[in-house]
A and B are shown apart, each in its own frame.
Chain A
Amino acid sequence: KAGVTQTPRYLIKTRGQQVTLSCSPISGHRSVSWYQQTPGQGLQFLFEYFSETQRNKGNFPGRFSGRQFSNSRSEMNVSTLELGDSALYLCASSFSASGANEQFFGPGTRLTVL
């Protein structure tokens, strides 16, 4: 059974640009959650999607947005990039609600903003 996949694995952008990250969950999983990981703040929740609907949202500015498609694949977008957006972005999938079931994480996308 294939795991969670994320593309691209690495990205380098400059301030002011926008970026789109993609996540494909494990087959059969309907929930996708996104997290930002930085050395200072640790893992912080961005948002969760379930059956194409945003179920939960973390405390991030509106520059961070996401969506989920009918095949459960999810994308997150960050507009007007800032230096502080440099981080490892992780997505996780689970069968149903993110907090009720075991979550499985992808390898992450390393975003560097110059």
Chain B
Amino acid sequence: KQEVTQIPAALSVPEGENLVLNCSFTDSAIYNLQWFRQDPGKGLTSLLLIQSSQREQTSGRLNASLDKSSGRSTLYIAASQPGDSATYLCAVSRGNTPLVFGKGTRLSVIA
């Protein structure tokens, strides 16, 4: 059974700092991995999708990497801003199965 873990559960950083969020999964036979952002009480916003054949994806100040063999992904946020404060979730899928989510990392960027 696939399990997804995100560490740390919460993170507080000063504005402008570069930071890394971690995601690990137990079954490396994944089809893709997706990073989401969730603001309090709101739905999920898709940030990046990495197919299993890819090593990384970039969007603006965000860069996500994937190492299937070690069961790990990282989300790198450059030059953090207070508007980046949210919960970040990663989720994996085998392709014909639903997404399995981690419990998220709650990020606070302090001005």
Which of A33, A97, A105 contacts B46 (CB under 8 A)?
A105
Residues of B within 8 A of A (CB): 31-32, 34, 36, 41-46, 49, 89, 91, 93-104
Cα A6 to Cα B43 in complex, Å, equals 10
Q: How many residues in A have their beta carbons less than 8 Å from beta carbons of B?
A: 24
Q: Which of A12-20, A41-49, A60-68 contacts B (4 or more CB under 8 A)?
A: A41-49
A99 lies within 8 A of B93 (CB): yes
Which of A4, A33, A88, A97 contacts B96 (CB under 8 A)?
A97
Q: What secondary structure prevails in chain A residues at the interface with B?
A: strand
A residues less than 8 Å from B96 (CB atoms)? 97, 99-100
B93 lies within 8 A of A90 (CB): no
Number of A-B contacts (CB under 8 A): 60
A-B contact pairs, 19 of them (CB 8 A): A33-B98, A42-B102, A43-B101, A45-B100, A48-B98, A90-B43, A90-B44, A97-B95, A98-B98, A99-B93, A99-B94, A99-B96, A99-B98, A100-B96, A103-B34, A103-B99, A104-B46, A107-B43, A108-B43
Cα A6 to Cα B42 in complex, Å, equals 12
Residues of A within 8 A of B (CB): 4, 6, 33, 42-43, 45, 48, 56, 58, 88, 90, 92, 97-100, 102-108, 110
Which of A4, A98, A107 contacts B99 (CB under 8 A)?
A98
B41 lies within 8 A of A100 (CB): no
- For residue B48, which residue of chain A has the nearest CB? A102
A42 lies within 8 A of B101 (CB): yes
A43-B101, A99-B94 given as contacts; is B41 within 8 A of A105 (CB)?
Answer: no
Cα A56 to Cα B99 in complex, Å, equals 11
A44 CB to closest chain B CB (Å) equals 8
